[in-house]
Amino acid sequence: MATEPPKKKLKLPPKAMNSPATLDDIDNLYLAFQSTPEMQDWSAFVEAIRNGIASGKDKFEVPAHFPRLAIEDIASTPLGFDCLVEVWNRTCDQEGMPEQKQNVPRPEEPGA
């Protein structure tokens, strides 16, 4: 059961085949993506987690819509999380295998 979609339906402008996307096109693409029921479920999930963490409790409830959709990805790809890549890299160093370390993507610096 998805959360209620936004009231305004966003549309992407029609594009000719093989024409380069403009920044406005990319912005519209992101807006359309964020308007999907799945991303609405993601947003509700993230908001519930942030609110739960802010409450200071060790356990709290979250909506199950997004985790139900993504549990196989979450369970099978722990190195998809930067915090666990850092743990992996630390373990590689501890085990004397630094060549097995993974890159941790970092956000771009403002103005870069």
- For residue range 52-92, list pLDDT tens digits in order: 999 999 999 999 999 999 999 999 999 999 999 999 999 99
pLDDT at 19 over 80: no
Predicted confidence at residue 110, as pLDDT, reads 62
The token pair at 15 is: 């594009």
Residue 105: the pLDDT is: 73
Q: Could you tell me how far CA 68 lies from the centroid of its own chain? A: 15
Q: 41 vs 25, which has greater pLDDT? A: 41
Q: Which of 2, 28, 3 is nearest to 14 (CA)?
A: 28
In this prediction the pTM is 0.67
Is 70 exceeded by the pLDDT of residue 46?
A: yes
Residue 59 to residue 29: CA distance in whole angstroms:
36
- Please give the Cα distance from 58 to 78 (Å, whole number): 22
